[in-house]
Amino acid sequence: MSALAVRHDIGSALTVRAGDVDLARYVYVPDTPLLESPKPFLHPIRTRSGRVVSLFRPHDHVWHKGIAWSLPNVGDENFWGGPTYVHGRSYVQLDNNGTQAHRRLVDVGVEAETAYFTHELDWITESGDTVITERRTIGAALLSDAAWALTFDTTMTNTSGREIAFGSPTTRGRENAGYGGLFWRGPRSFTGGTVVTPDGPGGDEVRGRRAEWMAFAGRHDGDDEQSLVLMVDHEANPHHPPQWFARSENFACLNPAPFFSEELVVADGETVRFRYGTGIADGGADDAAALADSVRGVLGESV
């Protein structure tokens, strides 16, 4: 297999490359309007063969950006983007769109066939208060000639001076809309694709189910080939196994949502940690279980 390398565009982005394919670009200083809650994101994301499996700023939800760590309800602050769900009023545009602001990159490199980088950020409200400091490490490892794994490990410390409740539109009263956390938006051509769970294939009806992992199999325009994106929730994460926000009918997305129907209250000064593994493969729904096993192995080694 090709060796991994990391290219650094100083002050902007990092790109993980294997052979002649850029597997993923991590934009750590995005040029994003405030109403979209600026945040780092991974896009484009590609399979080993070079097929793009992410979507950036779709017109229906312009705050969706590839894969991003995105939270709609941090207390009363919105670090997701766009309007906030207010029970009885639906979605309302408030003056609460926060920013995940770049502070510094701590380390970038390749070691033991894993590419990695560590990023420190400040979560700043629209009114200018820093409420969270975060340290995240993102890694990439090749699994085979047809698959690779992306790991995401974050520790978030409450620096607000008060307790913070992490939640979702569902914890605020909207049924079966518990999105928030590590969120993947797939290409337009994946619409109508297959959501794969440990119990088998499905579609929108799996939204809200609990599972250790879920995957999405979709087809590409142009060559009609299939790709598979899979997410694994670490067993030590709060509220594991999570409920999932997954969609197929209107658009393709996957999100192991730790606050789907239950808030997580973090005291002032307390730190909370989340870890995830994502598998990206040339293949279809039948490959999901094997890919989940491979990603679990990488996720365990990254602890």
Q: List the pLDDT tens digit at each of the 303 positions of the chain.
A: 569 999 999 999 999 999 999 999 999 999 999 999 999 999 999 999 999 999 999 999 999 999 999 999 999 999 999 999 999 999 999 999 999 999 999 999 998 789 999 999 999 999 999 999 999 999 999 999 999 999 999 999 999 999 999 999 999 999 999 999 999 999 999 999 999 999 999 999 999 999 999 999 999 999 999 999 999 999 999 999 999 999 999 999 999 999 999 999 999 999 999 999 999 999 999 999 999 999 999 998 764
**pLDDT the model gives residue 302:** 64
Determine the Cα–Cα distance for residues 128 and 20; give it in Å rounded to an integer: 42
pTM reported for the whole predicted model: 0.97
Note the CATH architecture for domain 4-301: Distorted Sandwich (2.70)
**Residue extents of the structural domains in the chain:** 4-301
Amino acid, res. 246: A
**pLDDT the model gives residue 224:** 93
**pLDDT the model gives residue 143:** 97
**pLDDT the model gives residue 303:** 45
